[in-house]
A and B are shown apart, each in its own frame.
Chain A
Amino acid sequence: MAGRVLSYEKKDTWIHELSGVTKLIFFLAWSITSMISYDTRVLVVMLILSIAILRASKTEWRQVGTVFKFILLFLVINVIAIFFFSPYQGCEIYGSKTVIGHLFGNYYFTKEQLFYEANIILKYMTVVPSVFMFIVSTDPSEFAASLNRVGISYYVAYSIAIALRYIPDIQDDYVKIKNAEAARGIELSKKAGLLSRIKNTTPILFPLVFTSMNRIDVVSSAMELRGFGKNKKRTWYRGKSLRAADYAVIAFAVIFCTAALIITFRGGSRFYNPFR
C-alpha cells in the first residue's frame, strides 16, 4: 500500500516547520493561479519555483515516484484525447493556423495546437510539485489543529482530523476484505466482464461500508460520552500557531499570485499569444 499513495513523512526542513494552514493557503493560491492562467511565461516561472520548493522539502523520488508515473500516464491520455476531439482548439484560441505536418484525414498538426497542449501540460505540472510538497510535509494531526487555530469551526477541523486519521485504517480494511474475497474466488481484474465486475465489487463494498457505519456509531458515541461539543472552544495537543515564517510565506503566495494574474490578464485575455 505504502508505495501507491502519498503520505506524510517527518523530516527536518523549514517547510516541515511551517504550519499546515500556511501550506494549505499556499497550495490553494498556487493551484487557483495555475488554473486561471494560460500565460506561458507565468507558468514556466511557477513550474521552476515549485520544483525548487519541492527540493527544499527534501522530497525523494521513492516517496512520489509511483504517483508521478501515474500522473504522466493520465496526462498523456488527456493530451491525446484533446487532440483527437478537437485538433484545432489551439488555432481557435490563438487565431492563426500554421500547419507543420499531416496525420491522416482531417487531422493536421499545427504549431498553435502543439503550443496549446504544451500549456495544458505545463499547467498540470505546476500544480503537481505543490501537491506533493503539501501532502508529504504536513502532519495530519497538526494540520487539523492548525485549521481550528486560524478560525475554522472545530467541528469541521475535527471532521478533517478524523478523515485523515482513518484513511490508512480503512485502506487496510479494504485490502483485507479484498484478499479474503479473492481467496473465495471473486474476480476483480480485467478478466471479468463489465457487469460482473460491478457485481463483484459488492462483496467488498458492503462489508467495508457497513463496518464503517458501525465505526461512525462507535466513535460518535465515544465522543459524546467524553463531552465533545460541550464548549465553544477546545485545546489541541499538536497545534502550531502562525510564526513569522508562516506570515512571510502567506504574504509571498498572495503577492506572487496577484502579480501572476495581473501579468496574465494584461494582454486582454488569459492566453499568451506568441503567434501575433
Chain B
Amino acid sequence: MKFKFGIKEVVAAGIGTALFVALTEIQIPLGFIPNTALQPRAALLAFLSAVFGPIVGCIVGLAGHALGDALFYGSVWWSWVFPDALFGIGVGLFASKFAITEGDFTGKNLIMFNVVQAVSNAIAWIVLAPVLDILIYAEPANKVFAQGFFAFLGNFIITLILGTLLGVGYSKIGAKTGSLKKED
C-alpha cells in the first residue's frame, strides 16, 4: 500500500485537485435523472488514486469536489463530497496492485482495477451518498437512491472507459521496471 506522503504526493494532490476542479466543466448529462451526469472527473479521480495511492485520492476527492462545487455552483453539496473522498481512498488502497507506474497495467491488473473501482463506486454512491442525503437533507429516499444508482452507473461506466484508457496510456508512457537489460 502506498501510504507515503512525500513531495511527489504533495504536488500530485495539489495539481490533481486543480485538474479535478477544471474537469468539473465537462459534464455529459444523462438527461432523465435530475442533476446527475456522466463526469469524466470521476475517471480522473480513479486514475490519480490508482497511481498515487489513498491519501492523494482522498485529498483530490474531498478538496476537488468541495472546491469544484464552490467555484462552479456556489455551494457545497456535502453529502456528495464525502463519497468522492471514499471512492479515492477505496481505489487508492489497491494502488500498488495495479502497477500502473511500473508499466504493467494489463490483463489481470486491469480487471482488478475495474473490480475495485466498481466496488468502491457502489459503496460510495449506492450506499454512502443516499444515506448522507437522507441524514443531512432529509430528502425523499426513493429520489436519492435513484440518483445514487445513476451516479454509480455513470461513474462506473466513465471510469471503465476513460479511467482504464488513462491507466493504459500512462502505463505505456512511463518506463517499465526491469526494462533495462544488461548488455552481453
**What is the bound-complex CA distance between A219 and B29, given in angstroms?**
35
In the assembled complex, the CB of B101 is this many whole angstroms from the nearest CB of chain A, namely 10
Please state if B169 and A206 are interface contacts (CB–CB under 8 Å). yes
Q: Select from chain B the residue with minimum beta-carbon distance to A119.
A: B138
Q: Secondary structure at chain B's binding surface: helix, strand, loop or mixed?
A: helix
Contact for A5 among B43, B71, B146, B170, CB less than 8 A: B71
In chain A between 162 and 219, which residues have their CB closer than 8 angstroms to a CB of chain B? 162-167, 169-171, 173-174, 194, 197-198, 201-202, 204-206, 208-210, 212-213, 215-216, 219
Please state if A201 and B162 are interface contacts (CB–CB under 8 Å).
yes
Which 8 pairs show the lowest CB-CB distances between chains A and B?
A: A162-B14, A86-B140, A85-B143, A163-B17, A166-B18, A81-B34, A159-B13, A220-B11
Q: Is the CB of A64 within 8 A of B78?
A: no
Could you count the A-B residue pairs with CB atoms below 8 Å apart for me: how many are there? Answer: 188
The answer to whether the Cβ of A242 comes within 8 Å of any Cβ in the partner chain is no
Residue A261 at the B interface, CB < 8 A?
A: no
B137 at the interface (CB under 8 A from A): yes
Contact of B22 among A78, A123, A170 (CB under 8 A): A170
Contact B74 A128 (CB under 8 A): yes
Chain B contacts of A135 at CB under 8 A? 70-71
Is A249's CB within 8 Å of the partner chain B? no
10 A-B pairs (CB sep. < 8 Å): A35-B136, A78-B34, A86-B140, A89-B140, A156-B10, A162-B17, A202-B162, A212-B18, A220-B8, A220-B12
Interface residues of B in 129-184 (CB under 8 A from A): 136-143, 146, 157-158, 161-162, 165-166, 169-170, 173
State how many residues of chain B have any CB contact under 8 Å with chain A: 57
* Contacting pair A205 B15 (CB below 8 A): no
A31 contacts the other chain (CB 8 A)? yes
A82 at the interface (CB under 8 A from B): yes
A213 touches B40 (CB 8 A): no
- Tell me whether B73 and A70 are in contact (CB under 8 A): yes
B70 proximity list for chain A (CB < 8 A): 6, 131, 134-135
Interchain nearest-CB distance for A74 vs B (Å): 6
A86 and chain B: residue at smallest CB distance: B140
- Given A31-B78, A128-B75, A202-B165, also A219-B15 (CB < 8 A): yes
Q: Which residue of B10, B35, B169 contacts A210 across the interface (Cβ within 8 Å)? A: B169
Interface residues of chain A: helix, strand, loop or mixed (majority): helix
Which of B18, B47, B72 neighbours the largest number of chain A CB atoms within 10 Å of its CB? B18
Q: Report the minimal beta-carbon distance from A94 to chain B, rounded to whole angstroms.
A: 11
B53-85 contacts to A (CB < 8 Å): 59, 63-64, 67, 70-76, 78
Q: Is B1 an interface residue (CB 8 A)?
A: no
A86-B143, A170-B22, A210-B169 known; A155+B10 contact, CB < 8 A: yes
Which residues of B are interface residues toward A (Cβ below 8 A)?
5-8, 10-19, 21-23, 25-26, 28, 34-35, 38, 40, 43-44, 47, 59, 63-64, 67, 70-76, 78, 136-143, 146, 157-158, 161-162, 165-166, 169-170, 173
**Is A256 interfacial (CB-CB < 8 Å)?**
no
Chain A's nearest CB lies how many Å from the CB of B14? 3
Across-interface contacts of B63 in A (CB, < 8 A): 159-160, 163
Whether A35 contacts B5 by the Cβ 8 Å rule is no
Cα of A123 to Cα of B10 in the assembled complex, Å: 35
Q: Is the CB of A194 within 8 A of B28?
A: yes
